Structure 1
Amino acid sequence: MKNTKKITIIVLAVFIIGGITLLSGFGSSETVNIVGSTSVQPVAEKLAETYEETHSDININVQGGGSSVGIKSAQDGTADIGTSSKDLKDDEKEGLTEYNIGQDGIVIAVNNKNTITDLSKEQLKDIFSGKITNWNEVGGPDGEIHLVTREAGSGTLDAFESIVMGKDTKIKSDAIAQSSTEAVKQSVKQDENAIGFVSFAHMTDDVKSISVGGVSPSSETIADGSYELQRPFLFLVKGTPTGELKEFIDWVNSSEAQKVLDEEKIIKSTN
């Protein structure tokens, strides 16, 4: 009887120790949090999904919030990686390591029924500032132009303002501000007189892209720089990455990750 009890105790001990070991294994996965640009978000999600397929020891969470949120989250360490779809200002760069994962075009989108096919940067500036208010002023149909823009803190907005509007000209105050590329596309899709700007990476045929200064947005024209409306997609890390975070960042710069970026229409510059 005593021997039976001893065997039972030993068996129970083995199960308990094994259970503790198993549970500790469940909790050993490292989590990487990525926060920021809603334009970069779908690309980051695809990169994370692909990486996790061969790296079961890491969980990568991706959230939006805007480029400003991404920069601040990287600066204060609340995110392992902040994402931005705009170049950083000098005062934003302090303490951060930047990784440019590729270039994205900013596409000028109009409704599919709009007959306009090309606008100059100066015309775009005049349209979005409210100086030009009717499509017939730029060779289009008679109709009041409805402006669709992005919310404050958007990297797409910041890049558009920098490239098109310049330092001294503001987008008209009554322009409809949307929180994402998808929301801009929906607004333009539903309004024949609307115009907005969206990410090339997420452009679809439910709205119409137009050329700027005679140059159409494409992988080739973004890569060689001939299409001027473009901006970087950035991963931002506080200090120097180590451990699993460094391994993921290194992988993002690999040929395997480049296949993902190509599929997502993120362009590697050739100029």
Structure 2
Amino acid sequence: MKKQRRRNIVVFILLAGLCLAVTAAGRFLWKNHKETVISYSENKNFNTKDYLPFSENSKIVRLVDKPTLRLKKNLPVLDGAAALFPVYSAVINAVYPSGTRLKEVDDKNCAFVYNNTVEGYYYLLYGETDIFFGVCPSEDQLAAFKEEGKECKLTPIGREAFIFFVNKDNPVDNLTQRQIKDIYSGKITNWKQAGGKDEKITAYQRNEDSGSQTAFLRFMKDEVVMEPPTHQVEDLMSGMIEEVAKYKNNTKSIGFSFRYYTEEMIANPQVKILSVDGIKPSKETIRDGSYPLGVSIYAATLKSNRKKNVKKLVDWMLSEQGQYIVEKTGYVGVK
């Protein structure tokens, strides 16, 4: 019995050690993930080079008046989701020293990076960045903060619409929230059940921890979401839009994203944004709260981050000039 007990103890110690090693390895990979930063997004739908600061042909919003905040040193490292890239790039252009550029793989101490939502919240967690611009983090991302004993502070800087879209040739223009939930839970499987053609529905989803997938799961709440086939999971929002758009005269697909990203940044004429509960997503319906799937966009920071310029910049985002950038980019301000 003593020998058996000793063997059990040894096995327990080995397993515990293995768990600790795996956890440590995971943390190490995130903390030393700089080498895998992809500095430019160059898919055919969205190119970060179109939204760079200090560029004559950039599509970013520029302030009319002299900025009320100028930072010259101790620059907060800014990061964000694809849909928010034009916002924080415009902030760089307004507030940071001229010439501040997007991080390349071998750059050191760069204040302007783009990791997207899937990885961006982890860079924030481990102190690689100071402010992340995006929608609410996923449950897994929030759990990671909790496990590290850190708190993610979310400061709302604007409002946006979470939207669903179909191929432009799909006769369906509106779905109720209940119908959408029934589609993604597998209760509605044919467009004929929702007023469309007699076609089987192909319902696309995003990859885990992406901003739109997180918004989707929050929308579904306690509904059991059906597991999509691998080919119906897209790792880029633009990829989902492209998949739904490419079905010429084939109206079976549905996907989801955010209004500004879909209408302005991608602007694919082959997709149609649906009304939800009879309300079309627009800046007006987001502002007055009538569109039912409004979401907040945030400047996310570590609550423990005491850098003065981080607070200054977040406060500036809520100022008249910061809200001007949010509004003119295409979102709805919070003030």
TM-score, normalisation: structure 2: 0.64
1:82-102 Cα deviation digits (max 9, x unpaired): 333126767547433322111
Structure 2 residue 65 is the aligned partner of structure 1 residue 65: no
> How do 1:8-23 and structure 2 match up within 5 A?
none
**Aligned match of 2:214 in 148, 158, 181?**
158
**Aligned match of 1:100 in 153, 156, 162?**
156
1:40 counterpart residue number: 84
1:203 counterpart residue number: 262
2:175 counterpart residue number: 119
Cα distance in 1, alignment partners of residues 334 and 200 from structure 2: 37
Q: Tell me whether 28-37 or 133-142 shows the greater mean CA deviation.
A: 28-37
Cα distance in 1, alignment partners of residues 128 and 207 from structure 2: 23
1:252 counterpart residue number: 317
State how many pairs are aligned: 239
Cα distance in 2, alignment partners of residues 189 and 46 from structure 1: 30
2:93 counterpart residue number: 49
Q: CA deviation at 1:158?
A: 1.3
**Aligned match of 1:172 in 222, 227, 242?**
227
Q: CA deviation at 1:39?
A: 2.9
- One-letter code of the match for 1:200? R
- The 3 A distance-change label for structure 1 pair 88 and 166 is closer
Structure 2 residue 293 is the aligned partner of structure 1 residue 234: no
Structure 2 residue 232 is the aligned partner of structure 1 residue 182: no
> How do 1:208-223 and structure 2 match up within 5 A?
208-223=272-287
Cα distance in 2, alignment partners of residues 210 and 196 from structure 1: 10
Aligned-residue CA RMSD (Å) = 2.6
Task: Give the SS at the match of 2:274.
Answer: strand
Cα distance in 2, alignment partners of residues 227 and 185 from structure 1: 21
Q: Assess if the C-alpha contact under 8 Å between 1:71 and 1:83 holds in 2.
A: no
Cα distance in 2, alignment partners of residues 193 and 159 from structure 1: 23
Please, which runs of 5 or more residues in structure 2 have no aligned partner? Answer: 1-71, 102-110
Q: CA deviation at 1:109?
A: 0.8
Q: CA deviation at 1:181?
A: 2.4
Q: Assess if the C-alpha contact under 8 Å between 1:41 and 1:62 holds in 2.
A: no
Please, which runs of 5 or more residues in structure 1 have no aligned partner? Answer: 1-27
- Percentage identity across aligned positions? 26
Cα distance in 1, alignment partners of residues 221 and 333 from structure 2: 26
1:14 counterpart residue number: none
- One-letter code of the match for 2:86? P
TM-score, normalisation: structure 1: 0.77
